[in-house]
Amino acid sequence: MRVGQWVLVTAPMDMRAMVRGSDLMLGIGSDSVISLQRLDGGRTISDGESGEMAMNAIEIVLDGGLLSVDVIARTAHRYTGDYFVETVSTPSGALVRLTPKMGSISSHLLAERFRNDALDERLRELVRAETGELHTALVRAALHQAAPPLTTADQKQ
């Protein structure tokens, strides 16, 4: 049980140290780190970079009012399997440029899919804000076989 507790509660915090410096990292939130290194030597995201646009790249404009940098970065990360991804800050939000890695990748309705995914990431951001600490406390409590003092009903015991 001790090993289990160490793994489930302490390891996530130690994990940050495991990501190598050579990766481009965005510190996101309090408990996880997104690594955006292209493991096959592809291009990395960098803010502000805007080089020549490739012929088959698709550009998506995103409104910063609704979608935070964090949300956009996490969404972009989901596409780094099939696409080279660049994000560029704009006065009103961000511009995301997606270049398919292979000709066979279908970019049908790509902008719509990206926006949908970004809206999902926004919901996830809300969930994380409300439940992040609770999650750690609950896991700890579960492994210690004791209820946490989080509900007054539980506290009466």
Partner 1 sequence: MKFAPRQAFAGDNGYRLLPLRFRRLPWDESRVLVTSMAGDWLIAQREEFERVVEGRLDRAEPLFAEMEARHLIAADPSHSTLAPLLSQYRTRKSYLEHGPALHIFVVSLRCHHTCAYCQVSRQPVGNTIFDMSEATAAHAVERLFEWPSPTLTVEFQGGEPLLHFARVRALVEAIEQRNRSEGRTLRFVIASTLHDLTDEQLAFMRDHQFELSTSLDGPEWLHNANRPRPERDSYQRTVEGIERGRKVLGEDAVSALTTLTRRSLEAPHEIIDEYRKLGFHSISLRPLSPYGFARKTEGRNGYPMADFLQFYEVALDHLLAVNRAGYFMEETYGRMLLSQLLTPFSHGYVDLRSPTGAGLGAVVYDYDGRVYPSDEARMLASMGDHAFALGRVDESVSAWLDSPAMQRVLAAGVAEALPTCADCAYVPLCGADPIDHYARQGDTIGHRPTSDFCRKQMGLFDLLLQRWEQGSATDQRILEDWALRATRRGIAREAEAA
Partner 2 sequence: MHKLDAKVQLDGWAQPTLLKVATLPEFASGLFPLERMVLDLRDPRVRTAFPTLSRLPWAGFVVNDPEQAPVGRPWVAIPPEKLNAQPGDVIEVVPETSKAALRYRRGANNNILFATERCNSFCLMCSQPPRDIADEWRIRQICALIELIDKNEPSLTITGGEPTLLGSGLNCIIEHCANVLPHTQLHVLSNGRNFGGGVLASSFTGLHPALMWGIPLYGDHYGLHDYVVQSKGAFAETMRGLYALEAAKQRIEIRVVLVKPVVEHLLALVRFLYRNLPFIEHVALMGTEPTGFARAHHDELWIDPADMSAVLAESTDYLTRRDMRVSLYNLPLCTLPRSLWPYARRSISDWKQHYLPACKSCAVRERCGGLFAWVTPEWTSRALKPALEGEEQCASH
Interaction site with partner 2 (CB under 8 A):
145, 147, 151, 153-154, 156-157
- What is the CB-side half-sphere exposure of residue 97 using CA atoms within 13 A? 20
* Cα 9 from chain centre: 20
**C-beta of 21 vs 48, nearer to partner 1:** 21
Instruction: Verify binding: residue 107, partner 1, rule CB under 8 A.
Output: no
Instruction: Verify binding: residue 99, partner 1, rule CB under 8 A.
Output: no
Residues 6+ apart with CB under 8 A from 119: none
Exposed, middle or buried by CB within 10 Å (0-12, 13-18, 19+), for 45? buried
Q: How far is the CB of 135 from partner 1 (least distance, A)?
A: 4
CB-based contact 36:81 (threshold 8 Å): no
**Cα–Cα distances in angstroms (integers) from residue 39 to residues 23, 35, 53, in the given order:** 9, 10, 22
Q: Which stretch binds partner 1 (CB under 8 A): 54-62, 65-73, 86-94, 146-154?
A: 146-154
**C-beta of 30 vs 92, nearer to partner 1:** 30
Instruction: Verify binding: residue 118, partner 1, rule CB under 8 A.
Output: no
Q: Which stretch binds partner 1 (CB under 8 A): 50-58, 63-71, 90-98, 148-156?
A: 148-156
